[in-house]
Amino acid sequence: MSNNVEAPVLMIRECELRDAEAVTGLMREVSYPTTTNVMKERIEDLESNPNACMLVAEVDEQIIGVIGLQCVQSHAYPEPAAQITSLIVGQEHRGSGIARRLMARAEDWGKQQGGKQLFVTGANREVTSTAYSFYEHIGFQKKGYRFSKVLL
């Protein structure tokens, strides 16, 4: 008789429509205003957009993290690049390596898309001083600032 207790397995996979409610909950943890219906629309849009991706971290069928990505190319980024549009790990799972695992998959996705760089802008609401430390710790370098204006 074995007394081994197996640790829960972390799975990172593409976000699916059934994940909309859980992802909405994560977004609300960081005060991002959204609804489950809006999230369902975004997830559906991803299916027809090869230049965007949302990955979820799942343990025991519970979504505990999410990362959103998109490919961009512009005058500012003449070489294709992958932009992190969101990175959220549920409060009770922070500090356990989930974000690092999501970032590793984000790097893989960016390379598969032909990206030469992975970046996040400081204007993203999730980028707090704690997040700055995290990004620097995993090898990101801070370069410049972003200015924006609301167009009416």
Q: Tell which residue, 66, 70, 67, 55, has the closest CA to residue 115.
A: 70
DSSP E strands in the chain: the ranges are 10-14, 52-59, 62-72, 81-89, 118-119
Answer whether 114's CB lies under 8 Å from 79's CB: no
Q: Residue type at 42?
A: R
* Domain 10-137 classification at class level: alpha beta
* The pLDDT of residue 70: 95
Q: Tokens 């999410």 label which residue? A: 66
- In the 8-state DSSP scheme, what is residue 39? H
Task: Return the top range by mean pLDDT from 2-11, 92-101, 126-135.
Answer: 92-101
Inform me whether the pLDDT recorded for 114 exceeds 70.
yes
Over the stretch 76-86, which tens digit does the pLDDT of each residue have?
Answer: 667 888 999 99
Distance CA 35, CA 113 (A): 29
